[in-house]
């Protein structure tokens, strides 16, 4: 695929405008990024050296023979789940000169899917029996009934463990933050002692919980 860098940059600009802010679009040569829009967590900065994925493509002989690589998964430096596709622009001898990559912040879409699932199917808890299901639907933004704050936190953690397929001690930073976000959305932190209890159960400091809650309030 023969190259005109201006055409490649025009294509990249069009993609960034079309696909929106959740899709990172980058163009790089064999050394550095020359275009970066909708950047996720400072993963790509124009003028800075290319990341491990691009370097790997350049060094792997089998991949260098391909026209593109689609839907490969990786993690950001902050453990955000990413899914990317990269097309290679080669010179007449078949050497890669430029790459154009589209990268999706998968965690954003997982959260949206979770919200849509709650709106579509409700939010039943695996920790509550069928006999108590009517009560579980009374757990709204502000916890009601006779549930203690410990019960509410355990409920959200149980739902999270089922959703992510792991125990809380092995959850990533982002997965734990999603639990804090859910507790916040249910009004759990309006109850005295909730921050202390959450910090203990997630093995976080109270200061960390407060910082993330402040970030949520600013959104």
| Number of independent structural domains in the chain | 2
Expressed as residue numbers, the domain containing 160 is: 123-218
Least confident of 40-54, 68-82, 93-107, 184-198: 68-82
Cα-based torsion angle of the residue sequence 78, 168, 182, 152 in order, rounded to the nearest 10 degrees: -160
Domain assignment present for residue 168? The answer is yes
Q: What is the pTM of this model?
A: 0.53
3-state secondary structure of 26: strand
Quick one: pLDDT band at residue 142, thresholds 50, 70, 90? very low
pLDDT (average), residues 170-185 = 89
pLDDT (average), residues 58-73 = 88
pLDDT (average), residues 47-54 = 90
Q: What is the CATH number of the domain that holds 17?
A: 3.30.450.20
Cα-based torsion angle of the residue sequence 18, 19, 23, 25 in order, rounded to the nearest 10 degrees: -40
Residue indicated by tokens 């097309």: 87
């Amino acid at each position: 695929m023969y190259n005109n860098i201006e055409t490649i940059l025009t294509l990249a600009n069009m993609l960034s405008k079309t696909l929106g802010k959740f899709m990172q679009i980058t163009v790089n040569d064999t050394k550095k990024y020359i275009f970066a829009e909708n950047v996720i967590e400072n993963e790509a900065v124009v003028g800075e050296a290319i990341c491990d994925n691009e370097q790997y493509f350049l060094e792997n002989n089998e991949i260098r023979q391909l026209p593109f690589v689609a839907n490969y998964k990786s993690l950001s430096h902050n453990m955000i789940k990413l899914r990317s596709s990269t097309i290679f622009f080669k010179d007449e001898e078949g050497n890669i000169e430029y790459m154009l990559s589209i990268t999706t912040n998968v965690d954003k879409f997982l959260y949206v899917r979770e919200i849509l699932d709650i709106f579509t199917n409700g939010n039943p808890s695996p920790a509550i029996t069928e006999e108590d299901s009517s009560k579980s639907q009374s757990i709204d933004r502000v916890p009601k009934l006779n549930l203690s704050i410990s019960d509410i936190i355990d409920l959200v953690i149980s739902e999270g463990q089922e959703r992510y397929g792991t125990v809380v001690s092995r959850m990533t930073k982002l997965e734990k933050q999603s639990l804090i976000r859910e507790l916040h959305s249910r009004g759990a932190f309006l109850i005295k002692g909730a921050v202390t209890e959450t910090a203990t159960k997630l093995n976080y400091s109270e200061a960390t919980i407060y910082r993330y809650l402040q970030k949520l309030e600013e959104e």
